[in-house]
Amino acid sequence: MKVLVPVKRVIDYNVKVRVKADGSGVDLANVKMSMNPFDEIAVEEAIRLKEKGVATEIVVVSIGVKQSQETLRTALAMGADRAILIEATDTVQTDIEPLAVAKLLAAVVKEEGPGLVLCGKQAIDNDMNATGQMLSALLGWSQATFASELVIDGDTAKVTREVDGGLQTISVKMPTIVTVDLRLNEPRYASLPNIMKAKAKPLAAKTPADYGVDVTPRLTVVKTVEPAGRKAGIKVGSVDELIAKLKDEAGVI
Amino acid sequence: MAVLLLADVNDGQLATDAVAKTVTAVKSLGDVHILVAGQGGESAAAEAAKLDGVARVLFAGDHAYCHGLAESTAALIVSLAGDYSHIAGASTAFCKNVMPRVAALLDVMVLSDVTAVIDADTFERPIYAGNAIQTVTSSDATKVMTIRTANFTGVGSGGSVAVEPVSGPVEALSSWVEDKVASSDRPDLTSAGIVVSGGRGVGSEEDFKLIEGLADKLGAAVGASRAAVDSGYAPNDWQVGQTGKVVAPKLYIAVGISGAIQHLAGMKDSKVIVAINKDEEAPIFQVADYGLVGDLFTLVPELTEKL
Ligand SMILES: Cc1cc2nc3c(=O)[nH]c(=O)nc-3n(C[C@H](O)[C@H](O)[C@H](O)COP(=O)(O)OP(=O)(O)OC[C@H]3O[C@@H](n4cnc5c(N)ncnc54)[C@H](O)[C@@H]3O)c2cc1C
Ligand SMILES: Nc1ncnc2c1ncn2[C@@H]1O[C@H](COP(=O)(O)O)[C@@H](O)[C@H]1O
């Protein structure tokens, strides 16, 4: 079974985000970019499926600027076999919307014929939490979101999902789309020899036109502003002082 | 035009808090019709019919709509979609699972985690873990969205409309196996007036009882950081943050939590924040109204006792 893993290049999760003063967006010039953390978990899961003999080939796909190939190389260094870069914009300031990403991925799925697509639960830049569900809809496949456990058994997969009340286990028909949550696994680091080897692995460069997909956004960003900040308050010296403040000053207990 | 609001139902009970807050968020957009889906949902539908400002309640009682399975639930919504300008649900795991699927089936973009409805086409939503707020307009014919409920006050329940049965298509792509849901007498995390959260600093599942003890003394819900959940001190549904629950109680007490941006994303709209941490440089103090520097293992028992 072939496994497809879409990986997104996003601002590194440790970077302090700065909103541009003119309200036009978030400043992405010269900031550290990395693989979306959830996508690292998806790549890791695919590699483990291959190590178990369930998966035969892992194809990673990224949609965005040319530099997304760095993210793809990271995935290849972790253990993916082959990469597809779909260059859909020439500026990092343009985020390709989940609907367009899902359409491109659906076209890739039709070409590649994977039995499983492992997506991240959400991209930590746009926080949409949408692409996997949209791809599943476009393909008419089953979906299992927010996975913390995945067991594939022939033509079904048993997936445990992190839901609001705790955990839910469902059984889905293969082929399927799984979106991965934080506790599915701990992704490995790529070793230096594997980083070197990854340079020789195949990476195909495509454009949305190759798939006949229109990536024009449906949402227009009017403005981007910083949220109302919170000011640091005071330090209290004792539990008694804290209780007094909460009772008399804040009136919350 | 009208708004179709997908109701969260847990174990046959309406998630009244989430639904009532979502009604508040969307009622300026038109008549609100609530959809309750799943066999055995009669009492949830009856509950929804009491919410103020609701014009109609649709009840799809087919078994296929139980357990929130996305494929059939989305197909049901799409079969009803023609009458609506907007389709909304709370930003719960259930609606986040279903709404993007609905949007793609309608060939529209989804609006996730809307925090303000400006007009029929214009919405605000947080991005980058709440470090930026975006105002977007949608050019799509139908707006499909999830609403982050933390900052809305729910409508009351003095109304009464009839519950109308509806049916729709079923997609046999997935099936429910089991739920592992811990029941608790504590208030629900997302609607509690007070939340006490513990982090990695608490150190063990056993010591998390300290956090729970303080919470019980205050009649509070219990939350946790991702590190506490990953380490097995607390269950996953307690996680507060960018990828967990978003809360805005009147009082949030963070114990042994450093204050990473991903955690702040889930609690920085709380009215009053208290931080207890032994590291006086911990970033949590930059958002805390009252900070107490010291060892949680002495401070928390003392606080619990003196309250
Ligand atoms: C994609 C992604 C998503 C994430 N989503 C979330 C999310 O939704 N929610 C979330 O919380 N995190 C999330 N994180 C993780 C986040 O980045 C931090 O790693 C996490 O919040 C840290 O948890 P913590 O504060 O409990 O642990 P730490 O950062 O280790 O802090 C522990 C604190 O406890 C204090 N302490 C230790 N012992 C004591 C003591 N005896 N008395 C008093 N204080 C003590 C320490 O001084 C320290 O400040 C996410 C990360 C990523 C990459
Ligand atoms: N531009 C992209 N390129 C590759 N994968 C993407 C892209 N955007 C989203 N994805 C995938 O979809 C997941 C969810 O993203 P989102 O719906 O944007 O929150 C990510 O974790 C990726 O697996």
Any idea what the CATH number is for the domain that residue B216 is in? 3.40.50.1220
Q: Which of B180, B299, B286 is nearest to A160 (CA)?
A: B180
CA of B213 to the centre of ligand 2 (A): 40
Q: For residue A80, give the CATH number of its domain.
A: 3.40.50.620
Question: What whole-number distance in Å separates Cα of residue B109 and Cα of residue A52?
Answer: 37
pLDDT of B125: 98
3-state SS assignment for residue B145: strand
Q: Do B104 and A138 touch (CB under 8 A)?
A: yes
- Nearest CB among B108, B243, B288 relative to A122 is that of B243
Nearest ligand 2 atom to the CA of A135 is: 12
User: Above pLDDT 90, what percent of chain B?
Assistant: 97
- B298 close contact with A: CB closer than 8 A: no
Query: With contacts defined as CB-CB under 8 Å, which chain B residues touch A130?
Result: 100, 103, 110, 112
Q: Do A167 and B236 touch (CB under 8 A)?
A: yes
- Residues B151, B240, single domain; the answer is no
- Nearest CB among B112, B271, B286 relative to A232 is that of B286
pLDDT of A229: 85
CB of A146 sitting under 6 A from ligand 2 = no
- pLDDT greater at residue B1 or residue B238: B238
- A236 close contact with B: CB closer than 8 A: yes
pLDDT of B183: 84
- B97 close contact with A: CB closer than 8 A: yes
pLDDT above 90: residue B83: no
Diameter of chain B measured on Cα atoms: 60
Please compute the mean of the pLDDT values over residues B177-196 and round it to a whole number: 94
pLDDT of A35: 98
Range of the domain at A181: 2-249
Q: Among the three residues B149, B165, B181, which one is the final residue of a domain in this structure?
A: B165
Query: With contacts defined as CB-CB under 8 Å, which chain B residues touch A158?
Result: 177
- A34 close contact with B: CB closer than 8 A: no
CA distance A226 to chain B (A): 5
- Residues B266, B142, single domain; the answer is no
pLDDT of A60: 99
- Nearest CB among A134, A142, A230 relative to B71 is that of A142
B300: confidence class by pLDDT, cuts 50, 70, 90: very high
- Residues B101, B231, single domain; the answer is no
- B182 close contact with A: CB closer than 8 A: yes
Domain total for chain B? Answer: 2
Q: What is the dihedral of CA A53, A168, A99, A80, to 10 degrees?
A: -20
- B141 close contact with A: CB closer than 8 A: no
- Residues B247, B292, single domain; the answer is yes
CA distance B51 to chain A (A): 23
- Residues B155, B201, single domain; the answer is no
- Domain membership of residue B174 (yes or no) is no
Here the tokens at position A152 are: 């594939």
Backbone φ and ψ of B104, nearest 5°: -65, -40
pLDDT tens-place values along chain A, 253 residues long: 999 999 999 999 999 999 999 999 999 989 999 999 999 999 999 999 999 999 999 999 999 999 999 999 999 999 999 999 999 999 999 999 999 999 999 999 999 999 999 999 999 999 999 999 999 999 999 999 999 999 999 999 999 999 999 999 999 999 999 999 999 999 999 999 999 999 999 999 999 999 999 999 999 999 999 998 888 999 999 999 999 999 999 999 9
Q: Among the three residues B165, B182, B216, which one is the final residue of a domain in this structure?
A: B165
pLDDT of B151: 86
The best mutation among B148, B257, B274, B300 to test binding of ligand 1, ranked by most ligand atoms within 8 Å of the C-beta, falls on: B257
Query: With contacts defined as CB-CB under 8 Å, which chain B residues touch A131?
Result: 100
Question: What do you get for the CA distance between the two ends of chain B, in Å?
Answer: 52
CB of A215 sitting under 6 A from ligand 2 = no
What is the pTM (predicted TM-score) of this model? 0.97
Please compute the mean of the pLDDT values over residues B159-174 and round it to a whole number: 96
Question: What whole-number distance in Å separates Cα of residue A13 and Cα of residue A36?
Answer: 8
Q: What pLDDT digit, counting tens, does each position of B20-46 carry?
A: 999 999 999 999 999 999 999 999 999
- A44 close contact with B: CB closer than 8 A: no
The best mutation among A74, A128, A131, A136 to test binding of ligand 2, ranked by most ligand atoms within 8 Å of the C-beta, falls on: A131
Please compute the mean of the pLDDT values over residues B7-16 and round it to a whole number: 95
Domain total for chain A? Answer: 1
pLDDT of B1: 82
Q: Which of B110, B67, B7, B91 is nearest to A134 (CA)?
A: B110
- Domain membership of residue B172 (yes or no) is no
Here the tokens at position A8 are: 């997104």
- Residues B148, B233, single domain; the answer is no
Kindly give, in sequence order, each residue whose CB lies less than 8 Å from that of residue A251, ignoring residues fewer than 6 positions away: none
What mean pLDDT is reported for chain B?
A: 97
Q: Do A99 and B136 touch (CB under 8 A)?
A: no
Query: Any binding-site annotation on B226?
Result: yes
CA distance A106 to chain B (A): 12
Q: What pLDDT digit, counting tens, does each position of B273-282 carry?
A: 999 999 999 9
Range of the domain at B90: 2-165
H-type helices in chain B, by residue range? 16-26, 42-48, 70-80, 93-105, 208-218, 226-230, 261-264, 296-306
